[in-house]
Amino acid sequence: MLSVDAEAIGGIYKFRSTVNISDVRFEWGRLAVTLVSGEDRKTVIVRFPHVVGFRLLDEGDLLDFWPTCSAENGWLFLIKNNGWFDLEATRQGFIREKGQGVLEYFVASQNSCLSVLSGELPEVEVFNI
């Protein structure tokens, strides 16, 4: 697979230290992802309002996403090309096509990474812990 073409989503909290996904909840087409950084003393909740698919993998199984989606570049990315969506699109049974309102997002953390196919922009909330 080719290297991922992605851009960090700006205007959100930028972690200064390691961050880990601590919780992933899916209910009625909505996905909520909680990330925690003990050193920053912050918790971030990212909500994807209209999810059509998601996958959680160890970062070691996603080498095509590095270095573009590495921690120094951010933790929440919009995937433009060569991500999970494009990989799924190579399967004969995958019926979604680009341009039908579904975008791919990538949440990078130290312990695992999450790919999300969503029809809407994510909402981000930051809390002090």
Instruction: For residues 126 and 55, give the distance between their C-alpha atoms in angstroms, rounded to a whole number.
Output: 23
Instruction: For residues 121 and 18, give the distance between their C-alpha atoms in angstroms, rounded to a whole number.
Output: 24
* pLDDT reported for residue 1: 61
How much of the chain exceeds pLDDT 70, in percent?
94
Complete edge-to-edge strand list for the sheet that includes strand 103-108: 5-8, 76-81, 103-108, 113-118, 51-57
Render pLDDT for 70-111 as a digit per residue (tens, 0 to 9).
Answer: 888 999 999 999 998 888 888 776 666 665 778 999 999 999
13, pLDDT greater than 80 = yes
Task: Note if the pTM is more than 0.85.
Answer: yes
* pLDDT reported for residue 59: 78
Q: Strand pairing of 42-48 and 113-118? A: unpaired
* pLDDT reported for residue 99: 55
Amino acid present at 107: V
Report helix, strand or coil for 29. Answer: coil
Torsion of CA 104, 43, 15, 108, to 10 degrees: -30
* pLDDT reported for residue 36: 96
